[in-house]
Amino acid sequence: MKKDGSLHVVAFNGSARKNGNTAILINYVLQELEKEGITTELVQLSGTKIRGCTACMKCFENRDKRCVIDDDMVNDCIRKMIEADGIILGSPVYFSDVPAEMKALIDRAGFVSMANGELFRRKVGAAAVAVRRTGAIHTADTLIHFLLGRDMILTGFPGIGMGLNIGDVDRDHEGVDRMKAIGQNMAWMMKLVASENAKNTAPRVHKEKKAGPVKKKR
Ligand SMILES: Cc1cc2nc3c(=O)[nH]c(=O)nc-3n(C[C@H](O)[C@H](O)[C@H](O)COP(=O)(O)O)c2cc1C
């Protein structure tokens, strides 16, 4: 939640095409959220070099909500995720899965979240996928495994829009409808979560003993 009390959603576009089909799909969701008074930001992963996780496990030692790789945008993305009430991951299908930049964000933000007691827990999540023909479910699976794995709340199926060239997804009316429904459902759920949080009666979070790096005996 922002300082002025307004709810905020951050969306990440994993496509190499900034204004391509994935961005179009995400924007349908964002428009619905804005109609409900929720502020939004669309972060483009394309055009930047994002390194993959090096499995150094320093995030589990430092527990400072950051990745030790600090020469790309991932720490900025993690901060935006922490500050947001809702998180959208949008991706095109590249050989039946997410592009490399999106996978790097998932791996590094995922470990930083785990290392710090789940930073995105009980935020509202959503996934959007742009596909020409095959691999949408596998790609959506990658996205929702991140969201659900980090204890986020999803309001329904991921949105899938079909198209090859930029703008094709606008003609996939079923896909567009799904995006709009996702936006409306996200807004409803975010307001519900915020009102529960305001009551301060949310159920306690059980501290799970999660598998992490094995501590060396000295
Ligand atoms: C490297 C690459 C791999 C792709 N692999 C697939 C694929 O496996 N299945 C598919 O249906 N479309 C595939 N596509 C097509 C894109 O998913 C499709 O054009 C999508 O609408 C692109 O979204 P964008 O405009 O946001 O980039 C691929 C495109 C690229 C550039």
Q: Each residue of 101-144: pLDDT tens digit?
A: 999 999 999 999 999 999 999 999 999 999 999 999 999 999 99
Q: Is the pLDDT of residue 3 over 80?
A: no
**Percent of residues, the chain, with pLDDT higher than 90:** 86
Q: Is the pLDDT of residue 27 over 80?
A: yes
- The confidence score (pLDDT) of residue 59 equals 98
Q: Ligand 1 centroid vs 99 CA: distance in angstroms?
A: 9
Cβ within 8 Å of residue 16, ≥6 positions away:
46, 92, 99
Q: Each residue of 150-174: pLDDT tens digit?
A: 999 999 999 999 999 999 999 999 9
Domains in the chain with CATH codes: 8-199 (3.40.50.360)
Q: Is the pLDDT of residue 97 over 80?
A: yes
- The confidence score (pLDDT) of residue 218 equals 60
Q: Is the pLDDT of residue 16 over 90?
A: yes
Atom of ligand 1 nearest to the CA of 165: 19
* Average pLDDT estimate for 71-76: 98
Q: Ligand 1 centroid vs 15 CA: distance in angstroms?
A: 9
How far is 84 from 107, CA to CA, in rounded Å? 19
Q: Ligand 1 centroid vs 182 CA: distance in angstroms?
A: 22
- The confidence score (pLDDT) of residue 10 equals 98
Q: How confident is the model at residue 32 (pLDDT cuts 50, 70, 90)?
A: very high
Atom of ligand 1 nearest to the CA of 163: 21
The region of weakest confidence among 54-63, 68-77, 143-152, 199-208 is 199-208
- The confidence score (pLDDT) of residue 203 equals 67
- The confidence score (pLDDT) of residue 182 equals 98
Q: Which residue's alpha carbon is at the smallest distance from atom 8 of ligand 1? A: 95
Q: Each residue of 33-46: pLDDT tens digit?
A: 999 999 999 999 99
Ligand 1 mutation target, pool 94, 103, 143, most atoms within 8 A of CB = 94
Q: Ligand 1 centroid vs 27 CA: distance in angstroms?
A: 18
Which residues' Cβ are closer than 6 Å to ligand 1?
A: 15, 17, 20-22, 92-96, 130-135, 163-164, 166
Q: Ligand 1 centroid vs 164 CA: distance in angstroms?
A: 7
Q: Ligand 1 centroid vs 110 CA: distance in angstroms?
A: 25
Q: Each residue of 163-217: pLDDT tens digit?
A: 999 999 999 999 999 999 999 999 999 999 999 988 877 667 777 777 676 666 6
* Average pLDDT estimate for 54-61: 98
